[in-house]
Amino acid sequence: MERTRANQLNRRRFLAQAGLVGGVGAVATQPGSSQALAASNLASSSKPSRVLVLGAGMSGLTAALALHRRGHDVQVLEYQNRIGGRLISVPLKNGQTTEGGGGHFRTNMPLVCGYISRFRLPLIAMNDGCPRFHVAGQIGDANLMQPWPWELQPGERNVSLPSLLANALVKVGINLNTVLEPHWPNPQVLKQLDPLTLKSLLQSTGASEALIRLIDAYAAEATVDTAVLALLPDFAYHFADRNLFRIAGGNERLPQAMAQVLGNRVHLGVPAVSIRQTANEISVVTKDGRTWTADSVISTIPFTILREMEITPRLLPRKQALVDQLEWSPVVKVYVQTRTPLWLKNGVHGWPMAASDRPWERVIDITGNEPGGYGNIFFYLTGKNAENFLKRPKETRAMEVVNQFRADLPGLIDEVVTVGEFSWPDQPWIKAAFANLPLGAGWMIQEWQIPEGRLHFAGDFTTLKSGWVEGAIESGLRAARQIDPQARPEFEIELS
């Protein structure tokens, strides 16, 4: 396989600018460093393979690192000139950071926790959601449940929204802990849930329309009209675990630390444009005209891009239908630093700090115990709210969202110190934010796990944990084990 000095130098400059290393593999004593890897003398696979990994996000790096530890010849080709995929951190004033992509982790994510611990990354503790609601023209606080102004049923009053949702799900046999297991759902559950939206499921339990609207506001615009299979893992994270954290200095430090171990095996700025496989090998052509040849390819390329690529021979009809029909959502984040976290004095905080059926949708407070003194929030716009935002003048639209929020819920935000935006539809390597399983498309769950000959698939969007780093890691390990069944997560490797 081909590698160039220019890309190695590009990556060296990137790591130096990120403050991770003075050069590739320069920190000899850190767990996961190139020197520690060499000293570990781990058993290699009896038949080393050449493996190309397309994408240097969490799924690709997980697969690459696991196979590298087993002695395989792994090269990672990344479209962007940066490492991290959808973990992308934005520096703010006074050393604070916000997140353009994955914004937080939870303690019911064992793979994420294992990798963060392995690389000894410092953490910021965050508050879970205790929002102020603005729904159906009424305002109420999550921590002041009596009286809420909405027309809830007697059995829906005096109880928190997470408890009400969990209670409704238990009525139909759904446990929010079980849905996070890698092999969920079984065939019986799949048949039961595949034709249902969240709204139809909640209606079957007798939930009031007011409760359904509150859940919709808490989770995201149009959530209740989404396939319930696609939502349950998301709800398990948001409602079944109340312990949040993020990485100090930015969540992208995790993939950067993983890439440091792989060193010059990671090649930046080399978008794949075509894939061709034969009985004996598989090759990838990149935009610069080079051809890279291997025994196996792990593609983490989002289907929004993969469907535009030339793949020879063509994917089988069922796989092609998966690539073409998996749905993708637009997301825009409007990030804001405020003079102080004034909302805390009003008893609201966390993920989310405010939730609504208004165009500003939700406000996420990620301040936690981050040093720097400023309040740190972002508006999370999805679906039509994101699309409508992007149609407005770029020079003024971010501040317009802030001002609309202030008019709707005054007294929560003081002086704005920093305001900006991050638009996922504008990222050319993905053109969207995350994937959604369509209603009635439960067949996709098995299909996205099946390789096409020498071509394997990974990415959070090839799990029901779409949009979550836990899903990305899970899929990367799955693809690695299809090539080498003894591949293991990095935190299970013993380094000397």
Residues annotated within the binding site for substrate are 380
Distance CA 273, CA 32 (A): 32
Buried/exposed 49-84: b ≥16 CB within 10 Å, e otherwise: bbbbbbbbbbbbbbbbbbbbbbbbebbbbbbbebbb
What is the helix (H) or strand (E) element at residue 266, kind and residue range? strand 266-267
Question: DSSP strand E in 287-353: where?
Answer: 291-294, 296-299, 310-312, 327-329, 331-338
Instruction: State the binding site for FAD.
Output: 59
Nearest to 226 by CA among 196, 271, 258: 196
Question: Would you call 179 exposed, middle or buried from its count of C-beta atoms within 10 A (0-12, 13-18, 19+)?
Answer: buried
Helix (H, G, I), strand (E, B) or coil at 269: coil
What is the helix (H) or strand (E) element at residue 39, kind and residue range? helix 34-40
Q: Which residues contact 276 (CB under 8 A, 6 or more apart)?
A: 282, 283, 285, 311, 312
CB distance 150 to 143 below 8 Å: no
Nearest to 330 by CA among 242, 396, 389: 389
Distance CA 260, CA 255 (A): 9
Number of C-alpha atoms within 13 angstroms, CB side, residue 448?
Answer: 30
What is the helix (H) or strand (E) element at residue 359, kind and residue range? none
Q: What are phi and psi of 415, to 5 degrees?
A: -60, 135
Distance CA 139, CA 131 (A): 11
Instruction: State the binding site.
Output: 59, 380
The angle subtended at Cα 71 by Cα 494 and Cα 267, nearest 5°, is 105
